[in-house]
Amino acid sequence: MPITVGQDTAKTRKTLTVNGTSIAYYSIPAAEAAGLGSFSNLPACLKVVLENMLRFEDGKTVSVDDIKAFGTWGENGGQNPREIAYRPARVLMQDFTGVPAVVDLAAMRDGIVALGGDPEKINPLNPVDLVIDHSVMIDEFGNPRAFQMNVDREYERNMERYTFLKWGQSAFNNFRVVPPGTGICHQVNLEYLAQTVWTDADQNGEQVAYPDTLVGTDSHTTMVNGAAVLGWGVGGIEAEAAMLGQPISMLIPEVIGFELTGEMMEGTTGTDLVLKVVEMLREKGVVGKFVEFYGTGLDTLPLADRATIANMAPEYGATCGFFPIDDETLRYLTNTGRDKDRVALVEAYAKENGFWRDADYAPIYTDTLSLDMGTIVPAISGPKRPQDYIALTSAATAFGEYVKGIRSGQDASPKEEIRWEGEGGAPEPTEIPGDEGHHKRGYVQTDDGHYQLHDGSVVIASITSCTNTSNPYVMIGAGLVARKAREKGLTRKPWVKTSLAPGSQVVSAYLEAANLQEDLDAIGFNLVGYGCTTCIGNSGPLEEEISKCINDNDLIATSVLSGNRNFEGRISPDVRANYLASPPLVVAYALVGDMNVDIAKEPLGHDQDGNDVYLRDIWPTSKEVAELVEQTVTREAFQTKYADVFKGDEKWQGVETTDAKTYDWPPTSTYVQNPPYFQGITMDTKKIENIEGAKVLALLGDMITTDHISPAGSFKDTTPAGKYLIERQVPQREFNSYGSRRGNHEIMMRGTFANIRIKNEMLDGVEGGYTKGPDGNQTSIFDAAMAYQEQGTPLVIFGGEQYGAGSSRDWAAKGTALLGVKAVIAESFERIHRSNLVGMGVIPFEFTGGDTRKSLKLTGEETVAIHGLDSVTPLAEVPCTITYADGTEKTITLKCRIDTAVEIEYIENGGVLHYVLRNLASEDAIAAE
């Protein structure tokens, strides 16, 4: 986007000379000297936002008062929730969220033509990179042909989507696509795209340096904060507005300082550290806040570990987890192949403009907490939330307690039909030592024998996800565990589906250079693809016999993955308990195949001589890992693997498309359809209307994630989405996943609230996407919503705490809107989903005064009216009248979570994209006069 120069801040524009080249920048010390405020003690992450205000101050969108507000932030104890207009430098997308975003842009081109405007007005003004990383699925595993077969199936399944994305690459300016098989978007961003200090030309053609910033359509965009690049996840809706030049409306955030001291102990990993950080920050409560890490511990913390911590900001609830620029930042940029002049600019700019972390770095924070890294121990998190931290020494015991809770009904996931041991002709169970009879078990018969599965059998062990595969210390560590296990004759258990999905091709380069890929292959961790795979639910099907045994015997099967998400129903429909762990521990659990085994103390198996083999026998030392990292993770490897990053393989080069400026929507496509958002659009807007006579579509509990609302994984032919495809002659084996079909609103509407583990409290003991229709009978949520729409009845959703946690997926809001939901009423919202709801014209409300769905004794039979919306102001409290089934009424007060003035305009327009579209069409009309 062209850089503007504000009249009031022009005097803060200075010149920096680096290696003989002069470049302009906006100086925070100069702003302080000019009397705009006291900024020197601001956290570095907040200085990034302040610099953005200096650079874009125009007296309108950004005012001098906005800049001065940062000066009073520290005086007010790290608080000044002033609304500001923030413009990130660029946008990052992945294909699951990127396809619907490009669909929206294509639909907006149609829409602006309908309004009499120019379709080329719909063009990214900021650079946009879309990395195809979410589509590869693990169909094949554990053999040398796995990678090629999975790639072939990926193209077979997704050719319609890839054709569409390639059209977008040619149709839109400032839009690049990183082809399949390259890596995970966040790792590609960290290793290649990010620059820490960005440069661009202003309207006069003069080069300006400024902090690298971005928003992304994936919640783990935060990973790049490990390299001092301020970025966070937004919904695709908000990202589209940002790329079209719309500033992001936000409040100046609070910043929580997280002090790290001490050093990591022998035998621990960055994963163990981040799982403890997640637990601590979730307990602290940092939703909607920035977290900045500081302290002497950073002096020994590699950037790879910092990126792991930054990556999991969504899991601890923060907007971002930021690490300031220091010597380690420069080392990483150099080692990953960045231009040396760029690295010199990063250092000079950071020191000149107050972004550098040295021994004297001591900013003001809103609040702080501290962790001695010397206290970190090996750990996992699970079975269904990232913050459920468990020290490895307690893992087996904790799993046993979880099973007891399930089997006793205290933590049950009830099904319509419960199958107990021995049913269906299975052999009678034998006891598992110490299980006190709580475990269920079943038997798998194969051509080469049989084995027992029971509660706790690990059926998926996956080295996957951006969180850890970007970290050479844990990846080399996993390879060394595999090597030592192989030397002792250990291998994976036959019921474990093992996989290795690196986040970039560089990982394969250094694993092969260290001769560790051969060892990983030997125990089943063959390369399956470069992408997110298991972490986003693309774990692929389990072997038929294993899946049948799990489901016939209602077993609590488990997965262990090196990812960041373990929500119910996410990893596999056959797996109920999911655990996050470091890559070396993933390998260890594959060897033992059972969560009931205390791998910290009990043997993993036996060597060739029958001797017990313990975890300590195959665990590498920190020295072994560091030496191999030093030898094999080279600058040359990064430069080679990223040399042709946008070119792709022969398959990508063979994808054919057109050069048309508007998209010719294929009418028979089941992947890409023209969405209904802009059909019939006019220039007219309307005031927000009160909600009258609304019925309850769903009554939901705490921690309803965006996975619950809009699942990404597979679905069956009995679901509304499955029936839609069957009606169009698509066989079930070609269904692919919800995530891959996000370009088709018909599929996604039918998949909204369709997670197999979601529980609608309107129904008794039923899991899945069900509710009561207008006739009072149980039906799918989609069918009920359509029946209510036919009657012209508005709908509401009730929820508990942390509604909308998890992924940034915009379809959780889009689907909600298309079902006819006008309001979501919850105890609290996660940041991104609240913003997405507003962006789709759905109003979020929070209970006040201690009211909850439980205290109000809601059953879902109620009728709801919400008034005061026709004159609502940001964060206003409004009355809500609930009429119960017996006719009694209760009026409560709700807090309207339309947080800013511009969000009111979004709702009045029907959504943020409608707002942008009308503004662009209006500009065309004015220009034509």
Q: From 594, 615, 636, give the residue that closes a domain.
A: 594
Contact status, residue 475 vs residue 585, Cβ threshold 8 Å: no
Ramachandran sector of residue 468 (left: φ over 0; alpha: ψ -120 to 50; beta: rest): alpha
> How many angstroms separate the CA atoms of 853 and 525, rounded?
47
> How many angstroms separate the CA atoms of 908 and 685, rounded?
6
Split into its structural domains, the chain has a count of: 2
The 10 Å Cβ neighbour count of residue 613 is: 18
Tokens of 844: 């979020």
Contact status, residue 530 vs residue 500, Cβ threshold 8 Å: no
pLDDT tens profile 161-183: 999 999 999 999 999 999 999 99
Start-to-end C-alpha separation, the chain:
26
Same domain flag for 698 and 572: no
**Contact residues for 113 (Cβ-Cβ < 8 A; gap 6+):** 119, 662
469 located within any domain: yes
pLDDT of residue 448: 65
764 located within any domain: no
Same domain flag for 695 and 586: no
Residue ranges in the chain whose pLDDT is less than 70 = 1-9, 410-438, 447-449, 924-929
The answer to whether the Cα torsion of 85, 89, 91, 92 is positive or negative is: negative
Contact status, residue 844 vs residue 838, Cβ threshold 8 Å: yes
Match 């996840």 to its residue by tokens: 233
The 10 Å Cβ neighbour count of residue 443 is: 15
Same domain flag for 574 and 446: yes
Q: From 543, 564, 594, give the residue that closes a domain.
A: 594
pLDDT tens profile 426-481: 333 344 544 555 688 898 977 666 889 999 999 999 999 888 988 999 999 999 99
∠43-45-50 over CA atoms, to 5°?
A: 90
Contact status, residue 472 vs residue 633, Cβ threshold 8 Å: yes
211 located within any domain: no
Match 């298991």 to its residue by tokens: 534
Strand bridging mode 843-847 / 889-896: antiparallel
Same domain flag for 559 and 702: no
Match 């930021």 to its residue by tokens: 322
Q: Containing domain of residue 835, as a range?
A: 691-708+781-899
419 located within any domain: yes
523 located within any domain: yes
> How many angstroms separate the CA atoms of 905 and 249, rounded?
12
Which 3 state secondary structure label does DSSP give 862? Answer: coil
pLDDT of residue 787: 98
> How many angstroms separate the CA atoms of 358 and 328, rounded?
11
Query: 868-891 b/e with 16+ CB inside 10 Å = b?
Result: bbeebeeeeebebebeeeeeeeee
> How many angstroms separate the CA atoms of 458 and 104, rounded?
41
Contact status, residue 627 vs residue 326, Cβ threshold 8 Å: no
Tokens of 929: 């006069």
Contact status, residue 876 vs residue 848, Cβ threshold 8 Å: no
Quote the crossing angle between the two packed helices 831-839 and 901-909, to the nearest 10°: 50
Q: How far is CA 244 from CA 40, 86, 99, 199, 901, in A?
A: 33, 13, 16, 20, 20
Tokens of 99: 């396809």
Q: What is the DSSP letter of 190?
A: I
Name the β-bridge partners of 499.
462
> How many angstroms separate the CA atoms of 507 and 133, rounded?
15
Strand bridging mode 441-446 / 449-454: antiparallel
Q: How many CA atoms lie within 13 A of 671 on its CB side?
A: 21
> How many angstroms separate the CA atoms of 507 and 485, rounded?
21
> How many angstroms separate the CA atoms of 421 and 439, rounded?
9
Contact status, residue 80 vs residue 38, Cβ threshold 8 Å: no
Same domain flag for 421 and 532: yes
178 located within any domain: no
* Cis peptide bond N-terminal to 383, omega within 30: yes
> How many angstroms separate the CA atoms of 583 and 527, rounded?
14
Q: What is the CATH number of the domain that holds 499?
A: 3.30.499.10
Nearest Cα residue to 9 out of 48, 45, 59, 43: 59
Which 3 state secondary structure label does DSSP give 442? Answer: strand
What are the respective helix, strand and coil percentages of the chain, to the nearest 5?
40, 20, 45
> How many angstroms separate the CA atoms of 384 and 550, rounded?
18
Nearest Cα residue to 537 out of 831, 148, 806, 307: 806
Q: From 561, 594, 627, give the residue that closes a domain.
A: 594
Tokens of 396: 């087996």
Same domain flag for 575 and 701: no
pLDDT of residue 9: 62
The 10 Å Cβ neighbour count of residue 729 is: 9
Q: How many CA atoms lie within 13 A of 431 on its CB side?
A: 5
pLDDT of residue 377: 97
Q: What is the CATH number of the domain that holds 811?
A: 3.20.19.10
Same domain flag for 583 and 446: yes
> How many angstroms separate the CA atoms of 712 and 809, rounded?
9
Match 């993993």 to its residue by tokens: 604
Helix/strand/coil (H/E/C) assignment for every residue in 508-559: HHHHHHCCCHHHHHHCCCCECCCCCHHHHCCCCCCCHHHHHHHHHCCCCCEE
User: Residue length, the chain?
Assistant: 929
| Complete DSSP assignment for 237-275 | HHHHHHHTTPPEEEEPPPEEEEEEES-PPTT--HHHHHH
Same domain flag for 808 and 696: yes
**Contact residues for 630 (Cβ-Cβ < 8 A; gap 6+):** none
Strands of 345-504, DSSP E: 367-372, 379-381, 389-391, 441-446, 449-454, 458-463, 497-500
341 located within any domain: no
∠891-897-902 over CA atoms, to 5°?
A: 130
> How many angstroms separate the CA atoms of 298 and 356, rounded?
13
The DSSP element (H or E) to which 467 belongs, if any, is: helix 466-469
Contact status, residue 499 vs residue 139, Cβ threshold 8 Å: no
The 10 Å Cβ neighbour count of residue 492 is: 23
401 located within any domain: yes
pLDDT of residue 15: 95
